[in-house]
């Protein structure tokens, strides 16, 4: 399968691999990895691994190809890909991983939540992950923001029950309620309000959740929010 002395992962090869990943082209990805297994460890210009790019681009089915050609998922890759056994084994070996951040500033809990790996997210919280930690990047998103961005009501409910702040602001002062209203998700809006979210809270630009809902055409939800 793999060459005994694989070629270095040069920029051109990495570019071809990232393009194949973006397209979700498993055949091309496999061919590139077969011809140069070093690409299983490739890192893109943004500092993220090609494997993580596969998950970020919505193609987690490509991850086993990287493993087949020698990749060993790190903690953040495991959290994003939902490899619970690997993530927990790495965490057991190094508990400080809970407080660290991936090259793009996201933390393990946030990645597990965003990609819908509820059991892993619960495991991380049970092992001491801070439910209100925000990403170390310009977005400043907490795990609850990620759950709401994915309209994942069950995940949001779990995080709120674990103490997630319903009014936590991310970049620009947007709260989870703003995001839920933007998407017109009445169930999430009601859940957040039940946990104490403030419907009158404004973004840095003075925008309320009701205004966002109206701007997106969710007029019934906007009117309902305006009465809260």
List, for residues 89-105, the tens digit of each pLDDT value.
999 999 999 999 999 99
Cα 132 from chain centroid (whole Å): 15
Residue 8's pLDDT is: 55
Using one digit for the tens of pLDDT, what is the confidence trace for 46-89? 999 999 999 999 999 999 999 999 999 999 999 999 999 999 99
**Axis-axis angle for helices 219-226, 186-194 (nearest 10):** 20
Predicted model pTM: 0.92
Measured CA to CA, the distance from residue 132 to residue 129 in angstroms comes to: 9
Measured CA to CA, the distance from residue 66 to residue 50 in angstroms comes to: 9
- What does the mean pLDDT of the chain come to? 95
Measured CA to CA, the distance from residue 47 to residue 140 in angstroms comes to: 19
Taking Cα atoms as reference points, which of 27, 95, 20, 85 lies closest to residue 51?
20
Buried b (16+ CB within 10 A) or exposed e, 138-168: ebbbbbbbbbbbbebbebbbbbbebebbbeb
């Amino acid at each position: 399968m793999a060459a005994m002395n694989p070629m270095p992962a040069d920029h051109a090869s990495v570019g071809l691999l990232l393009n194949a990943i973006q397209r979700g082209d498993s055949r091309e990805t496999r061919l590139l990895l077969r011809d140069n297994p070093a690409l299983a460890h490739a890192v893109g210009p943004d500092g993220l691994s090609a494997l993580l790019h596969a998950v970020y681009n919505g193609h987690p089915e490509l991850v086993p190809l990287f493993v087949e050609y020698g990749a060993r998922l790190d903690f953040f890759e495991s959290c994003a890909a939902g490899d619970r056994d690997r993530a927990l084994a790495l965490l057991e070996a190094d508990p400080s991983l809970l407080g660290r951040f991936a090259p793009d500033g996201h933390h393990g809990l946030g990645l597990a939540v965003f990609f819908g790996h509820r059991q892993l997210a619960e495991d991380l919280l049970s092992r001491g992950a801070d439910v209100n930690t925000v990403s170390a990047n310009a977005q400043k998103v907490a795990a609850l923001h990620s759950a709401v961005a994915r309209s994942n009501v069950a995940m949001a409910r779990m995080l709120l029950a674990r103490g997630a702040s319903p009014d936590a602001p991310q970049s620009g002062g947007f709260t989870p309620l703003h995001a839920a209203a933007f998407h017109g998700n009445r169930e999430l809006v009601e859940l957040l309000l039940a946990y104490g979210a403030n419907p009158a809270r404004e973004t840095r630009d003075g925008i309320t959740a009701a205004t966002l809902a109206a701007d997106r055409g969710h007029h019934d939800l906007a009117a309902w929010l305006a009465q809260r």
